[in-house]
A and B are shown apart, each in its own frame.
Chain A
Amino acid sequence: MSLLSIRDLTLGIGGAEVLKGVSLDLAAGEIVGLVGESGSGKSMTGLSVLCLLPPGAVVSGRIELDGQDLTSLSEPQMRAVRGAQVGMVFQEPMTALDPLMTIGDQVAETLRIHRGLGRAAAREAAAAALARAGLPPDRFPLSRYPHELSGGQRQRVAIAIATALKPKVLIADEPTTALDVTTQAQILELLKGLAREDGCGLILITHDLAVVAETVDRVAIMRAGEIVEQGPVAALGALTHPYAQRLAKDAVLAETAPAPAPADGAPVVEATDVLRTYAPRRSAPWRRAEPFRAVDGVSLAVRPGETVGLVGESGSGKSTLLRAVLGLEALQGGAVSLDGRPFSPPSRGDARRLRRQVQAVFQDPYGSFDPRWRVADLVAEPLHLLDDPPTGAARRGRVAAVLEKVGLPADAIDRYPHQFSGGQRQRIAIARALITEPRLVVLDEAVSALDVTVRAQILALLADLSRELGVAYLFVTHDLGVVRAVCHRVLVMQAGRIVEEGETAQVFASPRHPYTQTLLAATPDLRRALAARGA
């Protein structure tokens, strides 16, 4: 007898069919992974259980919790179910908490509403719930505010709220997507432990099969509003639906080492002892404060045609270092040189000539284009760096040529960025980076926001372009799987310093620094997880 039973759930929003007959069962104490790409309807399935759908949504089908049909409940009845019987954890820990309420009050609020507890009793229960979520009151007093906590700690507060009432069903929608890999591993472990302890059913919604493979009992793979395949996690190696197979294949990035880089040649870019400090906030105007060293004496070099990975968690200083390499930040020490000429701090005469040799692709495929510009103008923007920028037909021809190179249709040139999918936008961004025929392209988490299948396509495109054009990449990422798939060498950065550096295969096989070992152990790996669970 299943605890939660979803039968033939269909959902329409404004005429669009979002869910087409989804059926899913969840037993008490079971953990189900609901996996799909963006737009597959996985989040909407989770929200349907809570009846938290956007206005205009038309639902049919049955959602039974312990034999009670949730779709037939009125809004006040549903409110009693939410939180008490079904708990939810959302993706973004930054916005899921009220910034003006202490964490103790936020947890206590749920308890007071549903249990009718008094202030003192609610605080006591809240402290217990937070302790269970890994925030013991002696180290994390109830009087803390969300902004005083890290992303992982905030997610723990959200989990404490969701589990305070020991709900029968817990739904976690991409709970770790916004977190670093080491934090991700801890949060997944916490969710799994709490679900086992309370005997509640847990639905883990994610876009990455590798993330759930180590945690869940059963996997349901969604595509375009339908569950195409579901089964125990051990059967992931023997999927039958072609889409499910592709998803599983793309979750494991090809480990074939990239073609060896030409070893000769002076470095394209060379950074020596780069120091970037920020003035901290002083506690009082007369007190001196030590400047915060975001990048602390880092040296790196990228040779022509080489792909170098720069790995680190948020706050490690990798983005700051990247901006320094791009010549966008003033440095407090050290230098960046390009082809042996000083690039940062910039010398007047060379700046334009050098800058066209280094271009960049940024993380967010939605935010990196001016929404009012057409693709033709967006891609042509770096031509500004040429001494004699082409105009009219010549300019259009150059844009068309580079768009073809990144695999976009010819009619893309007159469209606006919002008319493209995330993966296509990232192709436009690559086209923009390549139009000045640079020798180095800096990729700042360029594939992190993409679905796994699109991610695999973009990585393959980058590898092709590198072979064809001899362009070097500096690949900044937190995803070790990506590094292993495409990088010749890898640099591991922690707290502003590079703690380990070496050939990719060597670093992955025998990491020397403890931090690298922690990172590697925490990185979700579908094959390793399957091997561990199948055994």
Chain B
Amino acid sequence: MSVAASSSPAASRRATPALVLGGTITGLFVLAALGSYVWTPYPTAVLDVAHRLQPPSAAHWLGTDHFGRDVASMILVGARNSLAVAVVAAGVGLLLGTPLGLLAAARRGLADEAIMRGADLVFAFPSLLLAIMITAVAGPGAINAIIAIGVFNIPVFARVARGAALSLWSRDYVLAARVAGKGPGLISAQHILPNIASLLIVQGAIQFSMGVLAEAALSYVGLGAQPPTPSWGRMLNDAQTMIGFAPWLAIFPGLAIVVSVLGLNLLGDGLRDLLDPRLDRRR
């Protein structure tokens, strides 16, 4: 008997333009954040009042702010903060939310109800207000911004994990694993988690982009990273009184936020097309 030769399903999937574009933008974003440790056009901690509020020029590509700091350099350094807060916040959600979702799907009943109603409760709070509350109690700063954003990522991942896991629990291969004497914990780790990983990665990219946006919002209202650490949200805040005569101060940090969020969303969509087996059959 010969074994039917067929190519792996992964081979038939291809990288979409969304994935390439999103991956490139995200790559540049990460490169900017990491590269800023090595080199920036100008130091951001040094004030140069003589050259303040200069429009974009050959010396200062994106102009300078009211303290004479180079806007391009500040955007590069600000990327560090956005990246760190968004990555850690998405990671918190992934690492805490996924096990909760898996547990809810495996145990059903009371555990499921408790976890999902808890998730509903967190969702019911206006996220920015809760973030403000947390930072108001614990004081502003990057760590508290991470906690405030991360708390909202937990129910997101819990829901995604539970929904996908529930449909897998009715599969025959899970039944086969139960016949093989495996308990809910082992089945979740060996069969469920690997099969929902692609969904979680896609959700991770989406939560990452929302984290960038949320971090910008928090630092815009002064609850994110504190001065003198540059951050995109606070650059926007600083720029708003000067938008009439120095529009570049608002335009470039704004563009940085828009482009990085767009890139991460494209990356998420592209990964979904690449990884999600449910979409695979449609082609």
Pick the contact of A328: B9, B171, B179, B186 (CB < 8 A): B179
Does B9 lie within 8 Å of A419, measured CB to CB?
no
Alpha-carbon separation in the docked complex, A369 to B176 (Å)? 8
Residues of B within 8 A of A418 (CB): 6, 8-9
A362 located at the interface, meaning its Cβ lies under 8 Å from any Cβ of chain B in the complex: yes
Instruction: Give Cα distance in the complex from A468 to B175, angstroms.
Output: 27
Contact in complex: A368, B179 (CB < 8 Å): no
A356 to B1, CA, bound (A): 30
B126 at interface (Cβ–Cβ under 8 A)?
no
Chain A interface residue count, Cβ-Cβ cutoff 8 angstroms: 36
CB of B107 within 8 A of chain A?
Answer: no
Interface residues as binary, B1-45 with A (CB distance below 8 Å gives 1, 0 otherwise): 111111011000000000000000000000000000000000000
Query: Given A409-B3, A411-B3, A419-B4, A382 and B173 touching (CB < 8 A)?
Result: no
Contact, CB under 8 Å: A407 / B4:
no
A408 to B1, CA, bound (A): 7
Report how far A396 CA is from B171 CA in the complex, Å: 26
| Candidates A364, A382, A420, A429; contact of B3 at CB < 8 Å | A420
**B259–chain A nearest beta-carbon distance, Å:** 35
- B172 adjacent to A424 (CB under 8 Å): no
Q: Give Cα A78–Cα B213 distance, bound, in whole angstroms.
A: 51
Nearest first, the 5 A-B pairs at minimum CB distance are A368-B172, A382-B180, A362-B172, A385-B181, A367-B172
Q: Is the CB of A362 within 8 A of B3?
A: no
Distance between A446 CB and nearest chain B CB, rounded to angstroms: 11
| Residue ranges of B at the interface with A (Cβ–Cβ < 8 Å) | 1-6, 8-9, 171-173, 175-182, 186, 190-191, 194-195, 277
Residues of B within 8 A of A287 (CB): none
**Is residue A372 within 8 Å, beta carbon to beta carbon, of the partner chain?**
yes
A432 is an interface residue with CB less than 8 A from chain B: yes
A351 partner residues in chain B, CB cutoff 8 A: 181
Asked if A416 lies at the interface with its beta carbon under 8 angstroms from chain B, I say yes
C-alpha gap A285/B4 in the complex (Å) = 55
Give the residues in chain A near B195, CB-CB below 8 Å: 370-372
- Which residues does A use to contact B, with CB under 8 Å? 326, 328, 351-352, 355-356, 358-360, 362-364, 367-372, 381-382, 384-385, 407-409, 411-412, 415-416, 418-421, 424, 429, 432
Q: Are A363 and B4 in contact (CB under 8 A)?
A: no
5 contacts between A and B (CB under 8 A): A355-B179, A381-B180, A385-B181, A419-B4, A419-B6
Given contacts A352-B181, A372-B194, A382-B179, contact A421 B4 (CB under 8 A): yes
Q: Are A384 and B176 in contact (CB under 8 A)?
A: no
Residues in chain A near residue B194, CB distance under 8 A? 370, 372
- A372: B residues at CB distance < 8 A: 194-195
Alpha-carbon separation in the docked complex, A117 to B251 (Å): 60
Q: Which residues of B contact A407 (CB under 8 A)?
A: 1
Residue of B nearest to A361 (CB): B176
Known: A367-B172, A372-B194, A407-B1. A416 touches B179 (CB 8 A): no
Q: Which of A328, A359, A382, A409 contacts B1 (CB 8 A)?
A: A409
Docked-complex contact B181 and A359, CB < 8 angstroms: no
Determine whether the beta carbon of B173 is less than 8 Å from that of A360: no
| Other-chain contact of B175, A356, A358, A362, A421 (Cβ < 8 Å) | A362
The answer to whether B3 touches A415 (Cβ under 8 A) is: yes
Contacting residues, chain A, for B190 (C-beta < 8 A): 370
- Residues from chain A with a CB closer than 8 A to the CB of B8 are 416, 418
Chain B residue, CB-CB nearest to A368: B172
Please measure, in the bound complex, the distance between the C-alpha atom of A407 and the C-alpha atom of B2, giving whole angstroms.
11
**CB of B189, distance to nearest CB on chain A (Å):** 12
- Of the candidates A363, A382, A409, A419, the one whose C-beta lies within 8 Å of that of B181 is A382
Complex alpha-carbon distance, A412 and B191, angstroms: 21
A60: min CB distance to chain B, Å: 25
- Separation in Å of the A375 CB from the closest CB of chain B? 10
Complex CA–CA separation, A418 to B177 (angstroms) = 18
Hey, which chain A residues are within 8 Å of B9, CB to CB?
Answer: 418
What is the distance, in angstroms, from B171's C-beta to the closest C-beta of chain A? Answer: 6
B180→A384 contact, CB < 8 A = yes
> Would you give the shortest CB distance from A108 to chain B, in whole angstroms?
31
Q: Which residues of B contact A429 (CB under 8 A)?
A: 176
Task: Considering the complex, give the chain A residue whose CB is closest to the CB of B5.
Answer: A419
- Asked whether, in the complex, the Cβ of B3 is within 8 Å of the Cβ of A384, the reply is no
Give the residue name and chain of the A residue nearest to B197 (CB).
A372
CB-CB under 8 A for A360 and B179, given A367-B171, A371-B195, A416-B8: yes
